[in-house]
Amino acid sequence: MPLREHNGGLMTAVKATLVRDLTLLLRRRGEVLNPLVFFALVITLFPIAISPDPELLAVIAPGLLWVAALLAALLSLDSLFRSDYDDGSLEQLLLAPQPLVALSLAKVAVHWLLTGLPLALMAPILGIMLALPAGSYAVLALSLALGTASLSLIGAIGAALTVGLARGGVLLSLLVLPLYIPVLIFGAGAVQAAIFGEGVSAHLAILGALLAASLMLAPWAIAASLRISING
Amino acid sequence: MWAFIHKLGSPKWFYGISAKLQPWFWAAAALLIVTGSLWGLAFAPADYQQGNSFRIIYVHVPAAFLAQSIFIAMAVSGLVFMVWKIKVADMAAAVMAPLGAAMTFVALFSGAVWGVPTWGTWWMWDARLTSMLILLFLYLGVIALRGAFTSRDSASRAASVLAMVGVINIPIIKYSVDWWYTLHQPASFTLTSRPAMPTEMWLPLVIMVLGFYCFFIALTLMRTRSEILRREANKRWVQELVTGQVVKVPAEEAR
Amino acid sequence: MAFDSFSEFLAMGGHAPYVWSAWGVTALLLLATVWHARAEQRQLIKGLKRRARRANSARGNAQ
C-alpha cells in the first residue's frame, strides 16, 4: 500500500471516529447530562452536610469543586467503551488497518469534549453557590479544562482494562482514583493559589505537563488494554 | 544472552535453579534480620530527640523500601512478560503483589504507631505516609484486576499493563504529594529525615534493609515455584517430578 | 548495649507499646507470609501426588 494513501486513510479514520462518537453521544443526551447533574448534586450536598456559612464554604470550595468534578468525570468513564463493546463496534475498531492508538485517542477526545469541558464550564456557576472568592473563577475553569483532559486519558486506561468485565464499575474507581491524585493536587492547588493572590502559572504549567505526558503515554496503554479486553 | 533469557523463561529450568538458590537467600535473610533486629533494638543508641521510639525506624524504613521496590519489580516482570512472553515473569509478578501490599501495610502501620509518640496522633497527613497509602491502593488495584478476569492470560496481561502504568505514575504521585505537603505544612517534623545519623544507628538499618530484600527474593522464589506447579500441573515434567518421588517408591517396596 | 537491664529493654524508655507493637506486627506478618508460602507449597505437592496416584490406579484398573 502506498504510504500516502495510508496517511490519508488514518486522517479519514480518525475523523470518522470523531464524528461517529460525537453523533452517538449527542443522540444520547442523558449520558452527557448525567455527569453534570451529578456534579451539581454533589456540590449541593456539602453545604447541607457541613454548613451554609459562606465563609466556611469559601475555604473548602476549591477542593470541593475539584473533587466533585473528578468524581463526575470518573462516573462517566464506564460508558466510554461500554456501548461500543456491547454492540461489537469496538472489535471493528481493533480490526481497522489504522493504528488503534490514534483511534482510541479520538474516542478519548470526544469523551473529554462532552464531559470534561462541560464540567469545566459549569464549575464557575457552582463556584458562585459555594461563595468561591472572586478572581479565581477563570482559573477554576481553566484548571478543570486542562485537568479533566488528563483525567479522561488516564481514566480511559482503566475503562479499557475493565470494559470486558461484567462488574467493572467499582474496580474501575479503585484502579483510576489513585492515578488521579497528582492532577487533583495541582488542579485544586491552582484555584487555591488564585484565591490567595499567588501566581497560578506554575500550577497550570504542571497541569499542562501532566496532560502532555498523558497524551504521549496513555494512548499506548489504552490501545494495549483494549486489545487485552477484546481478545482475552 | 537470548538463549539465557529463554532458558530463564522455561518454568522447568527456573524450578530447578530456584531450588538451589532459595536456601541461600533464606539463610541470608534470617541472619541479616536477626542481627539487624538485635543490634537495632538493643545495641543502637537511643535518639536524642525521640528516645527509644526511634527504634521503629528499623522496621518502617526497610518495609517502605521494599514496598516501593516490589512495585518496580512487578512492573519490570510485567514488561518482560509482555515483550518476551516469558510466563515465569508473570508468575513472579503475581506472587509479588500480595507481599508488596503486605509491606506497604507494615510501613503504614509502623509509621502510624511511630506517629503517636512523635506527633501525638495516630495519623498525620505526612507526605511519606500519604504516598504509602496511595501505593497501597495501587497494589490493591493490581491484585483486584488480576482476580477479576476469568481467563488467566487476560488477567496476566491486564495486571502487567496496570503495573507499568502505576510505576510510571509512582514518581509523579510522590513528587506531587511532597510538593502538596510542603505547601500545607511548611516547617514540621518528618519521621525519618534527620541530620546525619551516627554509624551505630544507620549500620543496623542497612543490615535490616538488606535482610528484607533477601527475604523478598527468597519468598518470591518459593512462591513462584508453587505457582509453576499450579499452572503447569498438566505438563509431563511436573508429573514426572511428582510421580518420580511417590509412585516408584511404593512399587519398589512391594517388590 | 543501650540498656542497663532486661526490664529497661522491655520498657523502651516508656515507648514500649509503640516500639513493640510496630515490631510485633512486622514480625507477625513476615512469619505469616512464610507460613502461608510453606502451606501453599505442601498443599500443592500433596494435591499433585494424589492426582498422580489416582491417574495411576485408573491406568492399573484399565489393564
Domain residue extents for chain C: 25-63
Give residue B4's pLDDT band: very low, low, confident or very high (50, 70, 90).
low
- Per DSSP, the residues of C19-47 read HHHHHHHHHHHHHHHHHHHHHHHHHHHHH
Q: Of B137, B108, B109, B104, nearest to A181 (Cα)?
A: B137
Cβ–Cβ below 8 Å for B230 and C44: yes
Half-sphere exposure of B26 (CA within 13 A, CB side): 15
Half-sphere exposure of A19 (CA within 13 A, CB side): 6
For the segment C33-62, what is each residue's pLDDT rounded down to a tens digit? 999 999 999 999 899 888 888 877 876 666
Alpha helices in chain B (DSSP H): 2-9, 11-38, 57-84, 87-119, 127-148, 152-184, 199-231, 236-246, 248-254
Nearest CA in chain B to C56: B247
Nearest CA in chain B to C1: B43
Residue at B224 is within a domain: yes
Give me the count of residues in chain A.
232
Cβ–Cβ below 8 Å for B158 and A228: yes
d(CA A86, CA A109): 21
CB B104 within 8 A of CB B135: yes
CB A112 within 8 A of CB A79: no
Where b means 16+ CB within 10 Å and e means fewer, B106-130 reads bbbbbbbbbbbbbeeeeebebbbbb
Beta bridge partners of residue B47, listed in sequence order: B51
| Chains A, B: CB pairs < 8 Å | 78
User: Which positions in chain A touch B145 (Cβ < 8 Å)?
Assistant: 161-162, 171, 175
Please report the pLDDT score of residue A7 as a whole number: 52
* Mean pLDDT of the region A181-210: 92
Q: Which of B154, B164, B176 sits opposite A182 (nearest CB)?
A: B176
Is residue B240 less than 8 Å (CB to CB) from chain A? no
Q: Which three cell numbers stand for residue B163?
A: 503495573
* Mean pLDDT of the region A167-179: 90
Give the closest-approach CA distance of B5 to chain C in angstroms: 26
For the segment B139-178, what is each residue's pLDDT rounded down to a tens digit? 999 999 999 998 889 999 999 999 999 999 999 998 898 8
Please report the pLDDT score of residue B250 as a whole number: 43
Residue at B30 is within a domain: yes
For the segment A20-56, what is each residue's pLDDT rounded down to a tens digit? 888 888 888 888 899 999 999 999 999 999 888 988 9
pLDDT at residue B249 is higher than 80: no
Secondary structure of residue B51 in the 3-state scheme: strand
CB B40 within 8 A of CB B208: yes
CB B50 within 8 A of CB B120: no
Is residue B69 less than 8 Å (CB to CB) from chain C? no
Cβ–Cβ below 8 Å for A228 and B157: yes
CB B178 within 8 A of CB A187: no
Residue at B178 is within a domain: yes
pLDDT at residue B255 is higher than 60: no
Nearest CA in chain B to C13: B52
Measured at the CA of A112, the angle between CA B143 and CA B78, to 5 degrees, comes to 25
User: Which positions in chain A touch B166 (Cβ < 8 Å)?
Assistant: 178-179
- Per DSSP, the residues of A135-168 read T-HHHHHHHHHHHHHHHHHHHHHHHHHHTTSTT-
Please report the pLDDT score of residue B187 as a whole number: 46
Q: Mutate which of B108, B226, B237 to disrupt the C interface (most C C-beta within 10 Å)?
A: B226
Q: If interface means Cβ-Cβ distance under 8 Å, which residues of chain A face chain B? A: 157, 161-162, 164-165, 168, 171, 174-175, 177-179, 181-182, 185-186, 189, 210, 213, 217, 221, 224-225, 228-229, 231-232
Instruction: Give the ipTM of the model, two decimals please.
Output: 0.89
Residue at B63 is within a domain: yes
d(CA A179, CA B164): 12
Cβ–Cβ below 8 Å for A179 and B165: yes
Give the neighbours of chain C: at least 3 Cβ pairs within 8 Å: B
Range of the domain at B81: 22-188+215-242
Give the closest-approach CA distance of B13 to chain C in angstroms: 18
Interface of B with C in 30-59 (CB under 8 A): 33, 37, 41-46, 51-53, 55-56, 59
Q: Which three cell numbers stand for residue B9?
A: 523463561
| Chains B, C: CB pairs < 8 Å | 97
Instruction: Give the amino acid at A140.
Output: L
Give the neighbours of chain A: at least 3 Cβ pairs within 8 Å: B
Q: Which of A161, A168, A186 sits opposite B176 (nearest CB)?
A: A186
Number of domains in chain B: 1
Give the closest-approach CA distance of C62 to chain B in angstroms: 17
User: Which positions in chain A touch B154 (Cβ < 8 Å)?
Assistant: 164, 228-229, 231-232
Q: State the CB neighbour count (10 A cutoff) for residue A9.
A: 14
